[in-house]
């Protein structure tokens, strides 16, 4: 049999990983190797209400560390990053730790990147500023309390300005990948159902888009398949009857982490190409946007691949959709699936999961048909395996208003 050729590819580094129920007790040991003065970034009040915040601070102080604590809420904005960075450049810190959801991790990541640098973070945002980051940062540890964005493994921090001239743009450099990711599924058990659902759909979207990306490689394929295998039986239970099950939460946390690793190396597709302008215009949680757009985007992408089956590259991607469709149908072990039917069933599965999770439609956040053209004008296909047209993108958004 002829050997299958592996095309050249590159892979960014991944953080040092501490994974498992209860590993948060090791945060002091993990952090102390980077210094003695830590800026701890958390979100909202749930961590404090649960008693986890006191435990984390105790573990850090038990490692002879001095802790400064700030709370951030909502989407991370450039203005807030500049404010905190300016304050702690004067006060000083050896490292930054974020404990929270994707927004909290992105915020801490941006602060760690800007602490050694003069000026505003706006100067370095893709598509906004004119300067390129040089990769300097303070050591940064990410401790996710949700299973969604995979920011604990990515090289970018997404910052937002919401409104008519709003944007969601990235501060990006290979060095911005966290030094360590402490992933304790116990921290996500008390995450509310709606947030769990939205985050889960974000991780699902990222894994699937990275898997079929035009930049995918055998390494990212293997990681995506592993993540998707664990997400299959966990995504709905994690936000419903299995919300208190640490095993279920752990499966989602693992899948979310891999979604971050794979998107950092293979890129994403049209769902995220649309999600950015949607999120810049409306205060819609990113996972809610992904959940809404995933079904129609997948439907049009699979249809396009079926039409292009004579193209070997398209056939390869269609095989991937077929494989994941079989996985969700619990038929993956019955032999290699070889029918387009499995790919189409995957489309139905995505719609079904979205309904089971009770994800609100985009219109419930104020979006109307009159907003669609502007959103589409700012969108792109990214690394989608089928180059969808503006009309296709308009159809995707309109379906979910």
Which residues in the chain come in under a pLDDT of 50?
333-334, 337
Per-residue pLDDT at 340: 82
Q: Which helix (H) or strand (E) holds 294?
A: helix 286-307
Write out pLDDT tens, residues 82-108. Answer: 999 999 999 999 999 999 999 999 999
Could you tell me if 262 and 211 are in contact, meaning their C-beta atoms sit under 8 angstroms apart? Answer: yes
Per-residue pLDDT at 154: 97
Per-residue pLDDT at 331: 58
Contacts 24+ apart (CB under 8 A), 243-249: 243/189, 243/191, 243/193, 243/196, 244/189, 246/21, 246/185, 246/186, 246/189, 249/147, 249/185, 249/186, 249/188, 249/189
- Domain assignments of the chain as residue spans, ordered by start: 16-188, 193-399
Per-residue pLDDT at 47: 87
Could you tell me if 203 and 256 are in contact, meaning their C-beta atoms sit under 8 angstroms apart? Answer: yes
Class of domain 193-399: mainly alpha
Report the alpha-carbon distance of residue 72 to residue 107 in Å, rounded.
8
Q: Which fold has domain 16-188?
A: Rossmann fold (3.40.50)
Cα distances from 232 to residues 92, 149, 165, 341, in angstroms, run 44, 17, 38, 18
Write out pLDDT tens, residues 264-291. Answer: 999 999 999 999 999 989 999 999 999 9
* C-beta neighbour count of 191 within 10 angstroms: 22
Main-chain phi, psi angles of 287, to 5 degrees: -65, -30
Report the alpha-carbon distance of residue 332 to residue 4 in Å, rounded.
22
Report the alpha-carbon distance of residue 109 to residue 354 in Å, rounded.
30
Does residue 275 sit in helix, strand or coil?
helix
């Amino acid at each position: 049999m002829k050997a299958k050729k592996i095309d050249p590819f590159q892979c960014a580094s991944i953080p040092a990983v501490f994974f498992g129920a209860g590993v948060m007790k090791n945060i002091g040991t993990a952090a102390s190797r980077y210094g003695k003065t830590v800026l701890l970034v958390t979100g909202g009040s749930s961590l404090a209400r649960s008693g986890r915040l006191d435990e984390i601070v105790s573990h850090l102080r038990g490692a002879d560390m001095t802790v400064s604590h700030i709370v951030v809420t909502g989407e991370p904005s450039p203005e807030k990053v500049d404010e905190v960075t300016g304050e702690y450049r004067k006060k000083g810190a050896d490292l930054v730790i974020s404990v929270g959801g994707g927004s909290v991790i992105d915020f801490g990541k941006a602060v760690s990147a800007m602490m050694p640098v003069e000026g505003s973070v706006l100067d370095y945002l893709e598509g906004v500023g004119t300067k390129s980051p040089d990769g300097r940062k303070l050591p940064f540890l990410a401790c996710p309390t949700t299973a969604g964005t995979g920011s604990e493994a990515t090289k970018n921090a997404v910052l937002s300005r919401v409104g008519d001239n709003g944007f969601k743009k990235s501060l990006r450099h290979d060095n911005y990948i966290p030094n360590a990711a402490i992933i304790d599924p116990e921290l996500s058990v008390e995450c509310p159902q709606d947030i769990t659902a939205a985050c889960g759909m974000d991780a699902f979207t990222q894994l699937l888009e990275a898997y079929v990306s035009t930049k995918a490689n055998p390494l990212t394929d293997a990681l995506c398949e592993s993540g998707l295998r664990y997400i299959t039986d966990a995504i709905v239970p994690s936000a419903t009857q299995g919300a208190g099950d640490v095993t279920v939460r752990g499966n989602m946390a693992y899948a979310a982490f891999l979604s971050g690793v794979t998107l950092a190396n293979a890129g994403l597709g049209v769902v995220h190409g649309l999600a950015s302008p949607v999120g810049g215009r409306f205060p819609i949680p990113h996972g809610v946007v992904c959940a809404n757009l995933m079904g129609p985007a997948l439907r049009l992408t699979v249809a396009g691949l079926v039409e292009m089956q004579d193209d070997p590259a398209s056939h390869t991607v269609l095989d991937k959709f077929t494989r994941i469709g079989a996985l969700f149908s619990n038929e993956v072990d019955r032999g290699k699936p070889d029918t387009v039917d499995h790919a189409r069933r995957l489309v139905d599965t995505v719609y079904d999961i979205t309904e089971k999770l009770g994800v609100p439609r985009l219109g419930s956040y104020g979006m109307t048909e009159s907003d669609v053209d502007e959103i589409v004008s700012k969108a792109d296909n990214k690394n989608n395996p089928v180059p969808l047209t503006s009309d296709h993108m308009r159809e995707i958004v309109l379906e979910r208003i």
